[in-house]
Amino acid sequence: MESLILSLASFYAFSREYAEVAIHEDDSFTKKDILTIKNIFPWAKLILLKDADIILRQKGFSEKTINLRHKHKLLIKAIDFHHIESRKRVLIIDTDVFFLKNISELWSKITEGEKFIFNDDREPAYGSSKKLLEKVLGRKLEMNPAPYVNTGLIVEPSAILREAKTIIDGYCKEFENFSYQRPHCIEQGFIACFLKNKKVEECVFSGNHRIIGHQDMPGTGYLKKYDFENNPDNVETIHLCGWNKLGKDFGAIRTKLLSFMKK
C-alpha cells in the first residue's frame, strides 16, 4: 500500500493533467486500504476485483478466465483495463514506478498513434508465450525476435485487445493446463506476442525510464547517490522492481523520493 500511495502521489504531482486514474485492485486491499485510497485520492476511480469479476461475466468472459486472474495478477493488465475502462489507450503503471518530472517523452509517443509502447529491458523473458498463442490461433506466427516487455510502465491500445476476447479466453485455457517455471513471463508475453503479431509495436523509454531490480546493486548505488532535485540525466520515471527486497538500500531511495516530492 505504501508503494501504491507513493507511486500515485508522484504521478499526481507531475502528470495529472494528462490522464484519468483508475486503480484496479487485485484482491489484496483491506477495508482500511480502501478507505485510505478513497480519502487520499478521491479523484481516482477504484475498481475492486470482485466488482471487476461481475463486469467481465456480463461481457461474456469464461469463469476459468475470470478465476485465473485471482491466481495470476498480471492477467488483470491484459483484460480488466481494456474491457472495463473505455479509453482508446491505457497507460498501465506498476505500484513500484515513480515519477520524477513531467513525462513528456511518454505522452508525445502516446499521441502519435495506436502503438504498443513499452520499455526495452535487458533480457528475453517471453517463456513459451509465442508457442501458446500459436496453439490458440492454430497457426505459426512469424515475428522478429522481440525485446522483453517490462510491464512496469506500458501503453496498450485498448481497442485491439477488446477485439481479442475470444483469443484471451483460449490463451487462459491453455495457460491453465500447463505448468511453467516463470508463469509471469507467459502472462506478459501474451500481450507482447499478440500485439507484435498485430504489428502495433514501438519500443521507447530507453533513456528517460530507469529500471532498477532488487538484484541490481550497481543500480541501487546509482539511485542512492542520484540528485533527484537537479535530475542531471533527465530521468522521467524509475521502476524499482522488487523494491521491498533490498531493505536499507531501497529504504534510502524511498526516503529520498519522499523528500523530493515534499518540495
Taking a C-beta distance cutoff of 8 angstroms, is the pair 7, 96 a contact?
Answer: yes
- Could you tell me the CATH number of the domain that includes residue 86? 3.90.550.10
Task: Tell me which residue range forms the domain holding 130.
Answer: 2-262
Task: Output the CA–CA distances (angstroms, integers) from residue 83 to 25, 38, 56, 133, 181, in the order listed.
Answer: 15, 23, 7, 20, 29
∠ CA 73-90-45, nearest 5°, is 75
Distance CA 190, CA 76 (A): 12
Residue type, 131: K
**How high is the pLDDT of residue 57?**
95
What value does the mean pLDDT of the chain take? 76
Q: What is the pLDDT of residues 19-62, one digit of tens each?
A: 788 899 989 899 999 999 999 889 889 999 999 999 999 999 98
Domain count, the chain: 1
Point out which residues pair with 47 in neighbouring strands. 24
Residues in the chain: 263
Q: Is the pLDDT of residue 205 over 60?
A: no
Q: What is the pLDDT of residues 138-196, one digit of tens each?
A: 888 776 655 555 557 777 777 788 888 888 888 888 877 776 666 666 666 777 777 77
Burial class (CB in 10 A: 0-12, 13-18, 19+), 69: buried
